Amino acid sequence: MIRLAVDAMGGDDAPESVVEGVELARNERDDIEFLLFGDEKQIRPLLSDDKNIKIIQADEVITMEDEPVRAVKRKKNSSLVLAAKAVKNGDADALVSIGSSGALLVASLLILGRIKGIDRPGFTATMPVMNSDRGFTMVDAGANADAKVANIEQYALLGKYYSEHVSHVKNPRVGLINNGTEADKGDMIHRKMHDALQVMGDNGEINFIGNIESRELLNGVADVVVTDGFTGNAVLKSIEGTAMSIMGMLKDSIMHGGIKAKLGALLLKDSLKKMANKMDYKRYGGAVLLGIKSPVVKGHGNSDPKTVKYVLFNAAEIVKSGYVESVKNHFTKVAEEKAAEKE
Amino acid sequence: MIRLAVDAMGGDDAPESVVEGVELARNERDDIEFLLFGDEKQIRPLLSDDKNIKIIQADEVITMEDEPVRAVKRKKNSSLVLAAKAVKNGDADALVSIGSSGALLVASLLILGRIKGIDRPGFTATMPVMNSDRGFTMVDAGANADAKVANIEQYALLGKYYSEHVSHVKNPRVGLINNGTEADKGDMIHRKMHDALQVMGDNGEINFIGNIESRELLNGVADVVVTDGFTGNAVLKSIEGTAMSIMGMLKDSIMHGGIKAKLGALLLKDSLKKMANKMDYKRYGGAVLLGIKSPVVKGHGNSDPKTVKYVLFNAAEIVKSGYVESVKNHFTKVAEEKAAEKE
């Protein structure tokens, strides 16, 4: 049984959307146990069936308005803190929340802790590739806006192991987002990042393919896209915003285009649906916080129950994949090699 | 007569695409004179009619492989350098090229010079807004990857004047791309940029609306989008890439969707065409280098003749708008006020 600790009180429509999403997931799979942390009085009436679902009472909630560090330290009985502690104590295998990203980041750092060798965790988001069923993984999608070169080196490794274990890509191609593909492109920090990744590529630590441009991401130019959290966030939101705007414009145009346009849309339904599905980032299972000692998955705050289901399935996949253990092994080995060199 | 100095030898398909584009533009408007700098032996046979077109012989060409600073300094008889000198000497009103961005930037700096008060020029690109015929202006779209706070303050002013004069927006809303809308969002440098722009907003120098997210750009959240050149480049290319990928996927899906899909596409033709036009960045007239003493406009290297035409029209609009004079006046006034304060 895979055991997921779920913060039932985080998110715009919590606990309803979370509880419904958990039930959707449970109805499809019976290899997952769900530990729902939150207000039992609110959660119990929402449950139609408690098979494989356990409610653990949490008296407090961390809201979007709370300052993350203070909230995690003071609200010891909040749904998020109790869920994180359950993972820490070995009562659950992964932490899932659709609440405040900042609070989830802090709870993960303070309660679960970083993997030894990782200075700063990074969010990864999986994005679609047009001509392939397999998406690409972007690290960091926004956890660490002020990334340093050492962070980027670690993100490349975290992304590599994630791509191998969770997305099942062999020898994943790692690229750095830059403002041109040539090796000397970029501002000062991205030029240094490129050079550091190139050394890792030359060493065989990663399959580094060099600088890539954000224009090519959806064409599948790389399996692992490495970037600082500021740029990653901007690129991710640009892609999502453009996709939503185009879909919205097409929809509007069909709605106001009279019977001819509506008939056309009906005939084109399959194509339009395929496109909408491809670009529906909700299907991609949320953002995963890499570099923490246990899997941590974050869904959008506005996730509907179906989206919550995908986030839960993604968390279960990560647990099954053994991703975290591989990363731990890598950094333990590196530390041992360094210690041996010193002797 | 508006006089445009055109580098006829820059671009992937030069001089053909440039000369054809010039003829398209000339055939539509008779208030522009085109000075074509390049190899007359190549250009002359391509011209069907030389009305309002003058060829000025240039023996050299700066290529994409040339190192920009060295090329501009050494290739004194190149089409780009001679075109820039024509603007400098008052023989033309604006400089247009679809060749190397780096060389154009260097030629503009060394030959035309910066407006007093501007430390670093910035590229602006006009992008579409979904529910409006008016796009938004992004500065800097990639000229200055290592932007400092002072550069961003200047970009806000350059963008404001551009939006007012060229896009005819009254009191344009200026926003800063950041990883959240709250005032304290961002990495260290973007937090400082926000605070500096806020001071300008409080002073009434600009209509600053605060931080904006790249997700909202195509929804028209701001008229002037200010950003460092690294982020601006990444966001611009993400938007272009996503739009192209979605269009491409829809096209593929129609091509392989059998007769039903093809009929649907035929009925939906107007909607699809409207969408394709909206997202066709070639229609937006290239990137304009702001902060230089004369208008400088750069088209994509792969511009076809129609795109070249839009770039030329955009350059003509900028000349007519009096944009450069307004910026010069602003900074002259600021310098005088500062001098007066010192006395």
| pLDDT one-digit tens code per residue, A265-285 | 888 888 888 888 888 777 778
**Domain A1-118+291-343 = CATH 3.30.365.10:** no
Beta-carbon separation of A215 and B238 below 8 A: yes
Q: Which overall architecture, per CATH, does domain B124-282 show?
A: 3-Layer(aba) Sandwich (3.40)
Residue from A69, A129, A215 whose CB has the most chain B CBs within 10 Å, to mutate: A215
Is the Cβ of A193 closer than 8 Å to some Cβ of chain B? no
C-alpha A255 chain-centroid distance: 34
* 3-class secondary-structure state, position B139: strand
Contact A22, A6 (CB under 8 A): yes
Mean per-residue pLDDT over chain A, rounded: 94
Q: Where in chain B is the domain with CATH 3.40.718.10?
A: 1-118+291-343, 124-282
Cβ contacts of A177 on chain B, cutoff 8 Å? 234
Contact A280, A307 (CB under 8 A): no
pLDDT band at B334 (very low <50, low <70, confident <90, very high): confident
CA distances from B6 to A235, B54, B85 (A): 34, 10, 11
Other C-beta atoms within 10 Å of B119: how many?
A: 13
Beta-carbon separation of A238 and B246 below 8 A: no
Measured between CB atoms, which of A230, A263, A272 is closest to B190? A230
Measured between CB atoms, which of A242, A267, A278 is closest to B264? A267
Contact A260, B265 (CB under 8 A): no
Chain B residue with the nearest C-alpha to that of A265: B264
Measured between CB atoms, which of B234, B264, B266 is closest to A235? B234
pLDDT above 90 covers a percentage of chain A that reads 80
| Cα distance between residue B163 and residue A127, in whole Å | 34
Measured between CB atoms, which of A234, A235, A249 is closest to B130? A249
Cβ contacts of B263 on chain A, cutoff 8 Å? 264, 267
Quote the DSSP letter at residue B10: -
Cβ contacts of B239 on chain A, cutoff 8 Å? 238, 241-242
Beta-carbon separation of A271 and B254 below 8 A: yes
Closest C-alpha among A251, A275, A279 to residue A265: A251
Mean per-residue pLDDT over chain B, rounded: 94
Mean pLDDT score, B205-217:
97
| Cα distance between residue A200 and residue A204, in whole Å | 6
pLDDT score of B295: 97
| Residue B249 clears pLDDT 90, i.e. is over it | no
pLDDT score of A279: 80
For the record, the structure tokens of B86 come out as: 């024509």
Instruction: Determine the distance in angstroms separating the CA of B302 from the nearest CA of chain A, rounded to an integer.
Output: 15
| Cα distance between residue B155 and residue B126, in whole Å | 14
Residue from B101, B221, B242, B254 whose CB has the most chain A CBs within 10 Å, to mutate: B242
According to DSSP, the residues that pair with A207 across neighbouring strands are: A173
Instruction: Determine the distance in angstroms separating the CA of B122 from the nearest CA of chain A, rounded to an integer.
Output: 15
| Cα distance between residue A276 and residue A165, in whole Å | 27
pLDDT score of B261: 86
C-alpha B3 chain-centroid distance: 18
Query: Left (φ > 0), alpha (ψ -120 to 50) or beta: where does A181 sit?
Result: alpha
Beta-carbon separation of B241 and A190 below 8 A: no
| Residue A34 clears pLDDT 80, i.e. is over it | yes
Q: Is the peptide bond before A49 cis (omega within 30 degrees of 0)?
A: no
Characterize the bridge pairing of strands A32-38 and A53-57: parallel
According to DSSP, the residues that pair with B114 across neighbouring strands are: B292
Q: Is the pTM of this model over 0.90?
A: yes
Contact residues, A window 104-163, toward B, CB-based 8 Å cutoff = 130, 142, 145-146
Mean pLDDT score, A54-64:
96
For the record, the structure tokens of A13 come out as: 């429509």
- The Cα angle at residue A164 between residues A161 and A168, in degrees rounded to 5: 155
| pLDDT one-digit tens code per residue, A140-176 | 999 999 999 999 999 999 999 999 999 999 999 999 9
pLDDT score of A77: 97
| pLDDT one-digit tens code per residue, B253-312 | 888 888 888 888 888 888 888 888 888 777 778 899 999 999 999 999 999 999 999 999
Beta-carbon separation of A266 and B264 below 8 A: yes
pLDDT score of A268: 86
pLDDT band at A251 (very low <50, low <70, confident <90, very high): confident
**Secondary structure (DSSP) of B265-334:** HHHTHHHHHHHHHHH-GGGG--EEEETBSS-EEE--TT--HHHHHHHHHHHHHHHHHTHHHHHHHHHHHH
| pLDDT one-digit tens code per residue, B311-322 | 999 999 999 999
Beta-carbon separation of B263 and A260 below 8 A: no
Dihedral pair phi/psi, residue A48, rounded to 5°: -90, -20
Mean pLDDT score, A322-343:
88
Instruction: Determine the distance in angstroms separating the CA of A132 from the nearest CA of chain B, rounded to an integer.
Output: 11
- For residue B297, the one-letter residue type is V
Contact residues, A window 232-271, toward B, CB-based 8 Å cutoff = 233-235, 237-246, 248-250, 253-254, 257, 260-261, 263-271
For the record, the structure tokens of A179 come out as: 């403002």
Half-sphere exposure of A336 (CA within 13 A, CB side): 6
Chain A residue with the nearest C-alpha to that of B190: A230
| Residue A343 clears pLDDT 80, i.e. is over it | no
For the record, the structure tokens of A167 come out as: 């997305």
Least confident interval from A44-53, A231-240, B230-239, B282-291: B282-291
Mean pLDDT score, A100-123:
96
Query: Left (φ > 0), alpha (ψ -120 to 50) or beta: where does B131 sit?
Result: alpha
| Cα distance between residue A108 and residue A92, in whole Å | 14
Instruction: Determine the distance in angstroms separating the CA of B237 from the nearest CA of chain A, rounded to an integer.
Output: 4
C-alpha A84 chain-centroid distance: 17
| pLDDT one-digit tens code per residue, B126-162 | 988 888 888 899 999 999 999 999 999 999 999 999 9
Measured between CB atoms, which of A187, A217, A260 is closest to B267? A260
pLDDT score of B120: 96
The question of ipTM being above 0.95 is answered as no
| pLDDT one-digit tens code per residue, B18-65 | 999 999 999 999 999 999 999 999 999 999 999 999 999 999 999 999
Burial track A273-292 (b if 16+ CB lie within 10 A, e otherwise): eebeebbbbbebbbbbbbbb
Under 8 Å CB pairs connecting chains A and B tally to 175
